[in-house]
Amino acid sequence: MEQTINTKIVYTPTEDDLISAADLLRTGGLVAIPTETVYGLGVNALLSEAAPKVYAAKGRPSDNPLIIHLADAADAERYAITCDAFDRLATAFMPGPLTVILPKRDCIPDSVTGGLATVAVRVPSHPIAHRLIELCGFPVAAPSANLSGRPSTTTVEHVIEDMKGRVDMILDGGASDIGLESTIVLPKEDGSLVLLRPGAITVEMLEEEGFTVTLDKAVTARLQEGEQPLAPGMKYRHYAPRARVILLSGERESVQAAMEPYRDRADTALICYADDTVADASNARVLGAFERRDEQARNLFDLLRSFDSQTEITRIYAPLPDRKGIGLALFNRMLKAAGYDIEEV
């Protein structure tokens, strides 16, 4: 798409800026919004002609539905048919990084849900996102504010890089606190949950609230030709830098030993943990402290994005994360970045 729109970039937005942003959204404009997970590319979810602009700006296939963002979980009933599981999830985790799939009501246009009979609902906790949606008085449909196929955006600089010239306004809200997209769950008739996309609301946290959780196959494995994930977006290539990413699976020591031969090579980057033996190599990129999965989550997309400007790098080695807590979300995103390329060490 040609870059034709004059994008207004607003650093530290004031209440008046948010009122302007809400006016833009009301009339069908595109506004990039900071949230606690990643930046979102927002449009008015009740205007059927607005969603296609998001798909065009991102270069995203239009069968990949958008999440609608609400100021308050109590508003969900107006746009979707809620259930007991939704109420319990809302009490425990909203506002926050959790998206719930529910049967949609007619006021939500097909263009938002990619023609599905269901709609994805989330209540973001970021104060700018929350206040903006409150001022709007209508739900804001938003996918992540990145060009399709690139890692999601977690800083205003990332958003400017991908979206300047393609959207009406970009609101700065600092670096995203979590750094990975929301957890997506689908409540089943029996009250159990299917996890469609892992995120900061972990399987363990859902189980602690008394839910039985099963994982959609697309969370941990490559789907076969013809298989459909429950979340259409999970089938697309995502997060992948230009360079080939290879995940090393094994004990921490074995992974470090496997990286050592590539120390200081200009054509290879080594993603590692803070006090790994290779962390002092000139080609090492530290993801975070070994035990700090939250820190690793916050840094991952920035790190993956940084490789695209370093054309000499053709290969990236990274440790395969374990699946504990938010580790499952890191595991899922890195698996996709690597195109499921795993080497046992």
Place of tokens 């949606």: 133
Shortest separation between residue 191's beta carbon and ligand AMP, angstroms:
18
Angle at 27 between CA 25 and CA 30, to 5 degrees: 40
Q: Say how many residues touch Mg ion, by CB under 5 A.
A: 1
Using rule CB under 5 A, residue 118 touches Mg ion: no
Looking at the Cβ atoms of 218 and 259, the one nearer to ligand AMP is 218
Stretch that binds Mg ion, among 63-71, 126-134, 140-148, 285-293 (CB under 5 A): 140-148
Looking at the Cβ atoms of 301 and 317, the one nearer to ligand AMP is 301
Shortest separation between residue 80's beta carbon and ligand AMP, angstroms:
10
Cis amide prior to 95 (ω within 30 degrees) = yes
Using rule CB under 5 A, residue 332 touches Mg ion: no
Stretch that binds Mg ion, among 113-121, 142-150, 211-219, 266-274 (CB under 5 A): 142-150
85 interface partner picked from ligand AMP, Mg ion, none, CB below 5 to 8 A per type? none
Looking at the Cβ atoms of 144 and 154, the one nearer to Mg ion is 144
Looking at the Cβ atoms of 105 and 312, the one nearer to ligand AMP is 105
Q: Is 23 helix (H, G, I), strand (E, B) or coil?
A: helix
Among positions 144, 182, 283, 296, the unique one binding Mg ion when judged by CB under 5 A: 144
186 contact partners, CB below 8 Å, separation of at least 6: 100, 101, 118, 193, 194, 196, 230
44 contact partners, CB below 8 Å, separation of at least 6: 25, 26, 27, 28, 50, 136, 138, 140, 141
CA distance 139 to 42: 10
Helical spans, DSSP H, in the chain: 15-26, 51-58, 76-79, 84-93, 110-113, 127-136, 156-163, 203-208, 252-259, 293-306, 327-337
Stretch that binds Mg ion, among 21-29, 62-70, 129-137, 138-146 (CB under 5 A): 138-146
CA distance 262 to 317: 9
Shortest separation between residue 299's beta carbon and Mg ion, angstroms:
18
Looking at the Cβ atoms of 116 and 160, the one nearer to ligand AMP is 116
Place of tokens 């979810």: 45
Shortest separation between residue 235's beta carbon and Mg ion, angstroms:
13
Shortest separation between residue 303's beta carbon and ligand AMP, angstroms:
19
Looking at the Cβ atoms of 258 and 304, the one nearer to ligand AMP is 304
Label the pairing between strands 284-288 and 268-273: parallel
Angle at 130 between CA 141 and CA 139, to 5 degrees: 30
CA distance 318 to 250: 11
Place of tokens 């094994």: 250
Looking at the Cβ atoms of 111 and 268, the one nearer to Mg ion is 111
Looking at the Cβ atoms of 180 and 338, the one nearer to ligand AMP is 180
Q: How far is CA 208 from the centre of its chain?
A: 24
234 interface partner picked from Mg ion, ligand AMP, none, CB below 5 to 8 A per type? ligand AMP
Shortest separation between residue 118's beta carbon and ligand AMP, angstroms:
4
Residue 266 CB neighbour total at 10 angstroms: 11
Q: Which residues bind ligand AMP (CB under 6 A)?
A: 64-67, 101, 113, 116, 118-120, 143-144, 181, 184, 196-197, 230-234
Shortest separation between residue 291's beta carbon and ligand AMP, angstroms:
27
User: By the criterion CB under 5 A, which residues form the site for Mg ion?
Assistant: 144
